[in-house]
Structure 1
Amino acid sequence: MSATDRAVGLVNIAAEAAADKLAQEIIAYDVSDQLVITDAFVLCSAPNDRQVRSIVEEVEDRLRDKGGVKPVRREGERDGRWVLLDYADIVVHIQHEEERGHYGLERLWKDCPRITLPESARGQGRAGADGA
């Protein structure tokens, strides 16, 4: 089984929103074969807490406006170091770059297929499906 078209659409919206706020190393994984609770993870990072919060706001706004969804759960917003936005179909992880390096979610999910992100979400300093 692979991520639903709906989940991939939400991933693309979230990735583009994060990219618009200069998120770094945006990656998406299809975790549907490994987890029953969600289809995809979006990972991205920022160099400071303020930018993490800015990315969170943009992702939430865009997914509400374009995807018609609100998070069913939010975690970590107060500290601004690692914010998790759970939309049931997808989970978006926005991490401070130090947390991202420390926790290494990419290592945990490296065996899952990567989801190809739109070109607009794959700029300089960001990683798309091909790691570029």
Structure 2
Amino acid sequence: MNLIEDKLNIIRKAIEDKKGFDIEVLDIKKISSIADYFVIASGNSTSQVLSIVDEIEYKMTSNGYETIAGKEGYSSAKWIILDYDDVVVHIFKKEDREYYNLERLWKEYENILK
């Protein structure tokens, strides 16, 4: 398993452990210089969104991925972004994910979980 696959597996497992849903892993490396992958998932409430993000950070740190390039949206807990350089994680409150429809903006992506 390579470094990126390891990161993706840790992140996905952390989301699943906190009952996050509608998980998508988008391969965007051919169409964007922002990152290689986007991970997008939803939670039903702001407390669940915070719990998911906290679990991702805990598991990433526990597995040696302590460096995070950026973190946005934690105070509102409607859309939180965690930037792990080659993997950017988007955790949404369900209604906000439906509103912003990030997948529509990245329609050229390949969802590697499907």
TM-score (norm 2): 0.92
CA-to-partner distance for each residue in 1:34-74, whole Å, 9 max, x for gaps? 11131100000001000000000000111111242332100
Aligned-partner residue type, residue 36 of structure 2: D
In structure 1, what is the Cα distance between the partners aligned to 2:101 and 2:20? Answer: 17
Residue aligning to 2:39 = 42
Residue aligning to 1:75 = 72
Cα gap change, 1:108 to 1:8, in 2 (>3 Å)? farther
1:51 to 42, 48, 51: 48
In structure 1, what is the Cα distance between the partners aligned to 2:55 and 2:108? Answer: 29
Indicate if the aligned counterparts of 1:28 and 1:42 stay in contact, CA closer than 8 A. yes
Residue aligning to 1:32 = 29
Indicate if the aligned counterparts of 2:40 and 2:91 stay in contact, CA closer than 8 A. yes
Aligned-partner residue type, residue 33 of structure 2: V
3-state SS, counterpart of residue 109 of structure 2: coil
After superposing on structure 2, the runs of 4+ consecutive aligned residues of structure 1 that deviate more than 3 Å are none
RMSD: 1.2
In structure 2, stretches of 5+ residues that fail to align are: none
The answer to which structure has the higher strand fraction is: 2
In structure 1, stretches of 5+ residues that fail to align are: 116-128
3-state SS, counterpart of residue 100 of structure 1: helix
TM-score (norm 1): 0.80
In the alignment of these two chains, the number of paired residues is 113
